[in-house]
């Protein structure tokens, strides 16, 4: 096997495991991206580190008067009350609809979307995000909106950094050691006698 194959094998063996998730209540009013809102600080991440954010798709918040209720994916289409949701409206009432995009801080996203900020860069998280941190720093969560004076409700966001399992680190380090040994053996075999 070529030494580079060992390195690729070792790197691919780095299986990720999620750290214990922490829950954060993100308020549509207090944590709005506009008005008097301030982002909610959550966990520290390093650039490239895998992390997840999840919010129940039935957990709702509002940008104001009807029809402005949405989940963390924002106001992207018609949403009807279930009769038991946070809107308090009778079942079948139109409580949310598409309000287009709000552009702020270099990001265009639907109004009412759960957005994360790392190192001054904003990205859409929505109800289900899994991927690498785009910058290092503390992940700050926002309700994406142009003003917060009539925002209500909150969503519960579960945030977890993904860290390599200790056994995976051992496997990867062992793979690098084997690749190094093979390289030394090849160099010794090619050396003139």
Question: Prior bond to 67 cis, omega within 30?
Answer: yes
Query: Taking residues 108-137, what's their average pLDDT?
Result: 98
User: pLDDT tens digits, residue range 36-62?
Assistant: 999 999 999 999 999 999 999 999 999
Q: Could you write out the three-class secondary structure of the chain?
A: CCHHHHHHHHHHCCCEEECCCEEEEEECCCCECCCCCCCEEEEEECCCCEEEEEECCCCCEECCCCCEEECCECCCCCEECCCCCCCCCCCCCEEECCCCEEEECCEEEECCEEEEEECCEEEECCCEEEEECCCCEEEEEEECCCCCCCCEEEEEEEEEEEEECHHHHHHHHHHHHHHHHHHHHHHHHHCCC
Quote the pLDDT of residue 51: 98
20 vs 70, residue with greater confidence = 70
pTM: 0.77
Q: Where are the domains of the chain?
A: 18-163
Q: Does residue 10 have a pLDDT over 50?
A: no
Residues for the chain: how many in total? 193
Distance of alpha carbon 75 from alpha carbon 70, whole angstroms: 5
Statement: 18-163 belongs to CATH 3.40.50.2000: no
């Amino acid at each position: 096997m070529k030494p580079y194959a060992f390195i690729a094998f070792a790197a691919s063996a780095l299986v990720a495991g999620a750290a214990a998730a922490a829950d954060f209540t993100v308020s549509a009013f207090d944590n709005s991206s506009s008005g008097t809102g301030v982002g909610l600080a959550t966990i520290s991440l390093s650039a490239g580190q895998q992390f997840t954010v999840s919010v129940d798709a039935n957990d709702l918040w509002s940008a104001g008067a009807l029809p402005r209720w949405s989940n963390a994916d924002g106001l992207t289409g018609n949403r009807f009350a279930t009769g038991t949701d946070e809107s308090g409206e009778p079942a079948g009432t139109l409580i949310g609809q598409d309000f287009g995009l709000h552009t702020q801080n270099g990001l265009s996203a639907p109004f009412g979307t759960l957005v994360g900020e790392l190192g001054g860069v904003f990205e859409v998280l929505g109800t289900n995000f899994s991927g690498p941190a785009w910058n290092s720093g503390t992940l700050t969560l926002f309700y994406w909106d142009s003003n917060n004076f009539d925002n209500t409700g909150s969503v519960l966001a579960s945030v977890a950094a993904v860290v390599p399992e200790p056994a995976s680190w051992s496997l990867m380090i062992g793979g690098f050691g084997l690749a190094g040994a093979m390289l030394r053996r090849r160099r010794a075999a090619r050396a003139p006698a």
